[in-house]
Homo-oligomer: A and B are copies of this chain.
């Protein structure tokens, strides 16, 4: 339905033809102009005939939230396999793994039942993996801490029988919101274990979010053998402020009820498709996102965006008639959110088969405007490989992309031992923690052009790694 006067393509065609005439004597120059031209074709295709937005619409609106073990996760496996089947790949297959099966149950109730303000209902979501409170719920006095050190300083005498409220906010001064998340998420991940050690009966956690609003954000958590499992619930940042203010005025008692349950592990799958390399088919370049999501919202940014972008890389290459030297493989990992079993299974199978996964790029930071890529310093031969990549930076300049040192992705991290060069796609991060693990992570929060530009950026990097390797 899009009719575009493709002025830039015409311009580039003219430009390249001029160069072909004049610059043949300059060694290596032609190659680089060809690369610029091919990358421009990738962008043109992605921006005018991209499929990511339509695919994401189906994955979010028709399939919906896709927690591991849910019927929707199974539907997502089926749907994405069907999509990969339509784009004329050399192979498409499902790779089995066993995944946790946690079910939220009825809507949580968290209510301040005694305070200076009386009774107040809070916006809450049980953390993923939390035990239930039992159908009656629990009531207890609340105590607030900001750190585990502060918790320890109170000790069992003070904590026993209470609900511990973790209220350390994101550090708003950090430009990288993922760094702010990293500085706060320990409360969510290990809060229940630490509080239970001192006899707490439950925990409330301030949502892992950038802003101040009424949206609760769920997310993964751990229990530990030998430490009592206590119910764990996230509350919105506004309610965290409210609760904190009420605690300044006196004793606060909270009632909490969640009926969540963990069932037996279930069988699920990574969804994989690939184009076989024509020169070095044994060298594999992986692009991936994770197919599962939390059970609230629609898993649009986290990580529907990464999935459709990964599939689009292969589709664009086929559409452009690009025949890769190396094998280009799209992997939609299952169970990143609460177990990483898909990532583990992929790495195990690769190891068993002795596969060479040369490089892996994960897109799991949302479908926002691309800012660049981050390269994992822990990767084997990092210095040399990063230098190779940096030599391509002039080709990225028209697209305002940087290459930095940094993280890659949870799913591909399991490939580190086998020497894979690990890369993370890096979109702009300012809005991510408004949607992450929350009911707000819906299709409407994703911008079509931003999503398409991400697919084009990733495809361009895959093209360069394929063409030049990482020597």
A residues in contact (CB < 8 Å) with B? 1-9, 43-44, 47-48, 168-169, 171-175, 177, 183, 210-212, 241, 369, 371, 398-400, 402, 428, 430-431, 434, 447-450, 453
Contacts and interface: CB of A to CB of B under 8 A. Distances in A.
A212 B4 CA distance: 13
Q: Which 5 A-B pairs have the closest CB atoms?
A: A430-B449, A47-B172, A44-B173, A8-B173, A369-B428
Contact of A428 (B175, B212, B428, B434): B428
Nearest to A6: B173
Q: How many copies of this chain does the complex contain? A: 2
Given A369-B369, A400-B402, A173 B453 contact: no
A398 B179 CA distance: 14
A192 to B, nearest CB: 23
A241 B307 CA distance: 30
A2 B48 contact: no
A61 to B, nearest CB: 15
A399 B171 contact: no
A48 B183 CA distance: 16
Nearest to A8: B173
A2 B212 contact: yes
Contacts of A210: 448-449
Given A173-B9, A175-B399, A369-B430, A448 B2 contact: no
A10 to B, nearest CB: 10
A4 B171 contact: yes
A211 B53 CA distance: 11
Nearest to A2: B172
